[in-house]
Amino acid sequence: MTALDHLLLFSAATVLLALLVGQRPYGGWLSTVFYAGQFALLMQLAGVGYSGGIIVSSFSLTVLDHTMSWRFDALSWFFAVITIGAALLASWYSAGAWGKKFRADGGNIGLLHLALALNVFSMLLLLASGDFLSLFVGWELVSWASFLLMVMAGGAASRAALKYVTYAMAGAMAIFAGMALAYHYAGSLQYLDFVSVLPLLSASQGWMLVALFGCGFAVKMGLLPFHLWQAAAYAETPGPGAAFLGAISSRMGLYAIIVVLFQLIGLIPIEALKISFTFLDGQSLLGWVAAFSIIFPTFTALRQNDARMLLAWHGIGQGGYMLLGLAAGDALGSAGGLMHVFNHATYQAALFFSVFAVVHQTGTSDLNKLGGLITRMPISFLVMLVGIIGLAGMPPMNGFVSKWMVYRSLMLEGMPLLFVASVIGTLGTILSVYKLIHNMFLGQLRLEHQNVREVPWSMVAPMVILAAIVLITGMMPGLVLEPIASVQAALGLPVVNYTLGGVDMASGALDMIWVCGILFGGFAIGAILFYSGGRTQHIHQLDNYAGGHFLTADTRYQYSDNFYAGLMRVIGPMYRYSFQWLENSIHSVTGLLGSGMKSWYRNAQPSFYLLATAVLAMAWVVVL
Amino acid sequence: MNPAEMNPQDMHQIVLTVVLPLLAAFLLPVFGRISMTFTRYLGPIVLLIGLLSTYVVWGEMTQPYMIAIGGFAPPTGIVFYIDQLSLLFTALVLLMSLLLWPYHRDTSVREYSLSLLLAGAACGLALSGDLFNIYVFYELASVASFGLVAAIASGAAYAAAIRYLIISGFGSVLALTGIALVYTQTGTLNLAQLALLAPEQLSNITGITAFLLILLGVGVKAELFPVNTWVPEVYATAKKRVSALLAGLVSKLAVLVLVRLLVLVFQTEQALQIMLLLGVLGVISGELAAWRAKDMSRMLAYSSIGQLGMVFIAFSIPGEAGLYAGIAVALHHLLVKPALFLLAERWGKSLEGLRGAARVSPGGAMLFVLFALSLVGVPPLPGFWAKLLVVMGLISQGAAMYSVALAVILIATVIEANYFFRLAITLYAKTEAGEKTGEETEPKAHARLDIATSALFGAALIAAVVFIVPLGQQLKDTASQAANVKTYISTVFPTDGR
Amino acid sequence: MSVIEILIEAMLMPLVAFVVGLFMVLMMRKIGARIQRRVGPPLLQPLYDIIKLYSKHTQTSHGWMHDIGIVMAVGGYVAAEAMLPVPGMNGIAEKGGLIVLTYMIMIPSLGLALGVGQCANPNGSIGIARALTAMLAYDVPFVIVVFGVAWHFGSTNLVEIIAAQQATGPAGWGITEMPLLAFAGLFALQGMLGKQPFEIYVAPHEIATGPMVEMSGKHLGGLFVMQCFQLYTAAVLYVTLFLGGGENWLTFLAKSFAVVAIPMSIAFVFPRYKTDDLVRLLWKWPVMAGLLGLAFVMN
């Protein structure tokens, strides 16, 4: 029994625990303890994560002449840290007051805990897969576990979950086809055999593999054009579930892409696949898909009026950065892409926790119905502030470091258009997150929210922990870059030259310790200059310039709707909804064909066409 | 090839599985006048005896053997051929008939009789080694199923039964024509002898025509496109136990017959191609129609058409791999579909009316989800492994048609997932207080038995997951044994073969 | 360069920036006055204004974020100045390069935006929305320029960029080697300074000075300080990228003041564009020029 077996068994035990005691009041706390236990077991595997190497599970299964095996390497360890960490904090968040309110409102808290535990277990299985069959089995289990988590709320959530499962199955079938092709070429489903047969494949065969695997995994990750399911599905999931899904669920698609496309097939053969009549090849295709996956969802997020949908759309967009960094292919880019997985998980979860804290206290996440909560929920505000600075990718938070690395690598590789595209994404993000924090926490406090209070500590603690992680890993990114360097070594990619403060390079290094230090020093100086200038008098929000009018408490004096009116006038016509049109047309065509088939079967006079069929069949036989 | 190690008594025990049910079926109306209780128990007892003999034979059998009925040697006489495949199907026939027996109090003697007739004829289909015998049992099974379908005595059922009868009759004519063609070409109807003569005498146009005719004829029961238009109406309007029996069991036996013919007699590329084409069309039409179905029984019926299309595609893969894949898919469908039909007994009405049904019957809803997951092919459930075999088999073929079939199967899976889980979500939907949940008031006992039987199938499914490795190995042996034509011929004609 | 030396430089550079910035503000007001045929304010007027605002008796605040916002606005620039090399002092320019600087100068805007948010005045919020939109508009040509410059010099380290330009003299300056990019950069600079015609976020007659509507006393004083830093930073950044940095203080100051004078002269003869027109304009000509320049640079 190796350390990996301990981890997997303990994770399975957590599932059992959630099944048995999920409904009890202490169920959430017990689950949290078990996740902490999983995390501790994972730390025992930390040698793999930091120094490389592989830990193999002692369990393997041979079914139908295919052998399935499980193992952890540096990449698996890295993703597992994020998975279990996210689950731990989500479970903590749900354990106290949130869980009580959820149960009181008619929600099934036991099912939530069970779904969360199942998600973690299936993700660990996927991360531990050691051959194509176990990869596919893990993949399906992850897809269905996510479905369970998404569908449990009912109503809008179940509609979104149905859409998700249709997309997920389509992706899974693409992967199945790719796996079958791999078996056909290599004679087995083992990675080593696949790698050895790769150089012998022709270009079209290579394209088939890349397309099938790429599209299949892209569905889970939410890359264009397979992204339409993700926002609604993640947004409608109850609180901690949404945070967990947003943090790590779609990154399972990225994990699979990294394993199959970058580790097994390799970037160089992908670059060798050219698309005729264009200047594109496989690598630049990946880069452009990533770039569009950054821009379109980010600008869709800009139009959202529901805080959860806004965050969910940003989640889709940030996935593009991860793929972009990896597609750039050099040490800096891949490190940036991988670090972005970690960074995104931290601040996305923090943002979702903050938003759901507001929902918990006010009952709504509609941005046009909130405002001014900064005085009532200051900690949630601070967490959201840290989160949005991270999401926007500005110093001193960790989001800046990973984005910096991606930008730098694009500069070094000489890809200006991709660089501009990714910066446009960042700018759109800044606009969008400012709207989020302004409409929620700034501006005028509504009359009905005068008595709102901060959420209890069981919800505050995980938020603050995440915010602290965002800040600390922003100031000392070397903490995260160390395991990432071993991931790069494990994948066969060039390794980034990291320091505790950032990256050491000849032509433009980064030292976040200095940058953040000077930044905070600057704030200190600014504070000294400000607070030494005499006492301020705090005035009421209604004591405000209103063009000569007097404001009263029932006057709605908040600018929130259509926040970027001028910009929308310019880019509004650019929202063509083409992807939705495509989705709807596929739906209609299927419906049409289905009705056709149904009417075939309801035909009242079968004998005639039976005769016709028999005659035609005879004719076919005679002719052929 | 000398089955001398087996006790002759035990060897011939297998005939009981055909004879006893037939006898009991004809005698039941007489017993019915004397004692109703005895009549009620006779059916299951007969089936149990048959099951027991099958078990004994399975334990003792080491290699395939044949029984010359009445002592007349083949090719003149009728032959029963017993190998792992036929034994497996015989056992399944008896087991399924037992589980899906109409245990309800108001069942008439006629229904018991017809059920036994169906069971006996089905066993005969599984065991026969002779085309004529097969045709006879096939007709017997058809007649029994007509009666069973109409037994519910509703107008819709009568209309469906008439439709079924017409198509089936037409199919029988086609099958008989095909058999006649075979006879004119080769002068024999014994499968083993046909296997010997087929390569020279049946690989011409007449041979292919014969196969096509038999395919369309027997395919009526096997829900083959395009002779399967009777399926939705019949499955929707008959008693669900009968639908379960037809969809799960009888269709597989028809497929078995076709497979035997394919392996032994019509081993040509065109035959495989026809099956592939019709299978693909079946999958497309079945799954797409299911997507638009408005009530659960019809949805299951269309889905059944689609699944059987996949079975045909699997069997159209040449060689042992095709048999292995086909048997796996067929068995899986046999396990899942009847259970789903049992659930549809309570829920067979409109899909919209099922909103929130999970509240009333949580076990049923959970079982539905389990079966849906297996049908769609989610690992580690058996449906996935069966699909894996089909996919791997298809990809190893070079012809473009096989790749098209693969793409069709994969797309059909997506559509399947959508409509099954659309229904699953409806089952678990929260309803407002006071809204009709779609449940009717039914005698509790009826419903409990249905759920219990369905749960039994579910348990079998889970057990199949646990024992997937030995099960896979066993099926592989069965397939390789069935694919071996030489074994067949030398078993039926021990000396030399002519 | 020991830690102490760097820290001392990090404190001196903002001081220099503030003083130079004050004079840049004065120059701006003088240019405006001359164009409008006035005399203009006396030499130390900008300083007097700041002192006046700080020493007002009534200092009102809408809350702690309102205060912190101003702290961030000033403090962010103080930190950003430590990254802009001046003749003789490099500060932390080598610890982070062009990209870090670009993001550092967004922090003061964010701080201001948050502070304005708590003021709970829709005029302020509208102003911020327009300011952010303008940022989206001018940053697109700006990042094209950044990419082009970084590619041309093969580095994002400002010290190296300056050294490369000074090694070859005026023939090797950015503006001579990449004229199109320099033009695009100047256009973006106009947007960055937030002066006419890109001053819609202030729009005094329409939205009551936008973000500044509830700012008074030391809050407004902080914003005045921020304006000094803003002019200085924009000018020095442009000088660093395109005009060869500063070989000595004389040339450095001359170049910086010249760079500020151009947008200011343009500003005072223009009215302001609407938001949509602003976005369209900044996404059209400077972007096209930038892309063309980039194409030349990368070949």
B393 neighbourhood in chain A, CB within 8 Å: none
Q: Which among A434, A445, A522 has CB closest to C76?
A: A522
d(CA B212, CA B182): 11
C106 neighbourhood in chain A, CB within 8 Å: 394, 430
d(CA B390, CA B324): 9
Residue A494: which of A403, A405, A423 has the closest Cα?
Answer: A405
Q: Which residue of A has its CA nearest to B421?
A: A162
A449 neighbourhood in chain C, CB within 8 Å: none
pLDDT, one tens digit per residue, over B381-422 is: 999 999 999 999 999 988 889 999 999 999 999 999 999 999
pLDDT, one tens digit per residue, over B325-337 is: 999 999 999 999 9
Per the domain annotation, does B495 fall within a domain? Answer: no
* The last residue of a domain, from among B129, B153, B187: B129
Segments forming the whole domain that contains residue B186 = 131-267
A511 neighbourhood in chain C, CB within 8 Å: 92, 95-96
Per-residue tokens: A585 = 């047309």
CB contact under 8 A, C114 and A437: yes
pLDDT, one tens digit per residue, over B28-80 is: 988 888 888 888 888 899 999 999 999 988 888 888 888 888 777 777 788 88
Read off the pLDDT band of B442 (50, 70, 90): very low
Residue C61: which of A519, A533, A552, A433 has the closest Cα?
Answer: A533
User: Could you tell me what percent of chain A has a pLDDT over 90?
Assistant: 72
C156 neighbourhood in chain A, CB within 8 Å: 408, 411, 507-508
Q: Which residue of C has its CA nearest to A535?
A: C59
Per the domain annotation, does B404 fall within a domain? Answer: yes
Q: pLDDT value at position B448?
A: 80
Identity of the amino acid at C294: L
Q: Which among A62, A144, A591 has CB closest to B292?
A: A591
Q: To the nearest whole angstrom, how far is the Cα of B34 from the nearest Cα of chain A?
A: 44
Q: pLDDT value at position B1?
A: 41
Interface test with A, best of B385, B395, B397, B432 (most A CBs within 10 A): B395
d(CA A213, CA A27): 39
Same domain, B106 and B160: no
- Max distance between CA atoms of chain B, in angstroms, equals 77
Q: Across residues A292-311, what is the average pLDDT?
A: 94
Q: To the nearest whole angstrom, how far is the Cα of C47 from the nearest Cα of chain A?
A: 15
What's the number of domains chain B is made of?
3
Task: Establish if B232 touches chain A: CB-CB under 8 angstroms.
Answer: yes
pLDDT above 90: residue C219: yes
CB contact under 8 A, A525 and C110: no
- The structure's pTM equals 0.93
Per the domain annotation, does B138 fall within a domain? Answer: yes
Read off the pLDDT band of B439 (50, 70, 90): very low
* The last residue of a domain, from among B82, B112, B129: B129
Q: Which among C118, C151, C218 has CB closest to A411?
A: C151
Q: Which residues of A161-170 are buried (b: 16+ CB within 10 A; e: fewer)?
A: bbbbbbbbbb
Q: pLDDT value at position B405?
A: 95
Same domain, B151 and B239: yes
pLDDT above 50: residue B438: no
Secondary structure of residue A371 in the 3-state scheme:
coil
Q: Which residue of C has its CA nearest to A547?
A: C208
Same domain, B161 and B239: yes
> If residue A70 lies in a helix (H) or strand (E), which one and from where to where?
strand A66-72
pLDDT, one tens digit per residue, over C127-167 is: 999 999 999 999 999 999 999 999 999 888 999 999 999 99
d(CA B189, CA B32): 39
Per the domain annotation, does B105 fall within a domain? Answer: yes
Same domain, B154 and B112: no
CB contact under 8 A, B288 and A597: yes
What's the number of domains chain C is made of?
1
Q: Which among B380, B391, B430 has CB closest to A176?
A: B391
Cβ A173 vs Cβ A226: under 8 Å: no
* The last residue of a domain, from among B129, B155, B173: B129
CB contact under 8 A, A595 and B174: no
Q: pLDDT value at position A270?
A: 85
Same domain, B155 and B109: no
B432 neighbourhood in chain A, CB within 8 Å: none
Instruction: Name which of A134-143, A197-206, A297-306, A614-623 the model is least confident about.
Output: A614-623
Task: Establish if A511 touches chain C: CB-CB under 8 angstroms.
Answer: yes
d(CA A82, CA B211): 60
CB contact under 8 A, B302 and A614: no
Residue A219: which of A583, A624, A488, A615 has the closest Cα?
Answer: A583
CB contact under 8 A, A424 and C140: yes
Mean pLDDT score of chain A = 91
Q: Which chains touch A (3 or more CB pairs under 8 A)?
A: B, C
Q: To the nearest whole angstrom, how far is the Cα of A244 from the nearest Cα of chain B?
A: 22
Q: pLDDT value at position A398?
A: 94
Surface of A (512-541) touching C: CB under 8 A: 512, 514-515, 518-519, 521-527, 529-531, 533-539, 541
Same domain, B256 and B163: yes
Q: To the nearest whole angstrom, how far is the Cα of B410 from the nearest Cα of chain A?
A: 6
pLDDT above 50: residue B443: no
A539 neighbourhood in chain C, CB within 8 Å: 60-62
Q: Which residues of B225-248 are buried (b: 16+ CB within 10 A; e: fewer)?
A: bbbbbbbbbbbbbbbbbbbbbbbb
B226 neighbourhood in chain A, CB within 8 Å: 609-610, 613
> Dihedrals φ, ψ of B431, to 5°?
-105, 155
Same domain, B295 and B316: yes
Chains A and B touch (3+ CB pairs under 8 A): yes
CB contact under 8 A, B231 and A590: no
pLDDT, one tens digit per residue, over B204-218 is: 888 888 888 899 899
Task: Establish if A106 touches chain C: CB-CB under 8 angstroms.
Answer: no
Q: pLDDT value at position A613?
A: 75
Segments forming the whole domain that contains residue C93 = 3-298
CB contact under 8 A, C133 and A559: no
Q: pLDDT value at position A604?
A: 63
Q: Using a CB cutoff of 8 Å and minimum separation of 24, what contacts does A192-195 make? A: A194/A132, A194/A264, A195/A264
pLDDT, one tens digit per residue, over A181-191 is: 999 999 999 99
Q: To the nearest whole angstrom, how far is the Cα of B329 from the nearest Cα of chain A?
A: 14
Same domain, B92 and B118: yes
Q: To the nearest whole angstrom, how far is the Cα of A206 from the nearest Cα of chain B?
A: 16
Read off the pLDDT band of B6 (50, 70, 90): low
Chains B and C touch (3+ CB pairs under 8 A): no
Q: Which among A594, A610, A622 has CB closest to B292?
A: A594
Same domain, B107 and B238: no
Q: Which among A521, A527, A545 has CB closest to C10?
A: A521
CB-defined contacts A:B, below 8 A? 135
Q: Which residue of B has its CA nearest to A107?
A: B430
Read off the pLDDT band of C77 (50, 70, 90): very high
Q: Which among B205, B229, B291 has CB closest to A594?
A: B291
Q: pLDDT value at position B498?
A: 47
pLDDT above 80: residue B497: no
Task: Establish if B289 touches chain A: CB-CB under 8 angstroms.
Answer: yes
Per-residue tokens: A125 = 């299985």
Q: To the nearest whole angstrom, how far is the Cα of A294 from the nearest Cα of chain B?
A: 28
Q: pLDDT value at position B4?
A: 53
Q: pLDDT value at position B428?
A: 87
Per-residue tokens: B35 = 């004692």
pLDDT, one tens digit per residue, over A369-415 is: 998 999 999 999 999 999 999 999 998 999 999 999 999 999 998 88
CB contact under 8 A, C294 and A416: yes
Read off the pLDDT band of A1 (50, 70, 90): confident
pLDDT above 80: residue A458: yes
pLDDT above 80: residue A622: no
Cα-based angle A277, A281, A282 (whole degrees, multiple of 5): 135
CB contact under 8 A, B413 and A137: no
Per-residue tokens: B486 = 């030489």
Q: Which chains touch C (3 or more CB pairs under 8 A)?
A: A
Per the domain annotation, does B492 fall within a domain? Answer: no
Strands A55-63, A502-503: pairing kind: unpaired
Distances A96 to A29, A113, A365, C138 between C-alpha atoms, Å:
8, 13, 21, 47
Q: To the nearest whole angstrom, how far is the Cα of C74 from the nearest Cα of chain A?
A: 5
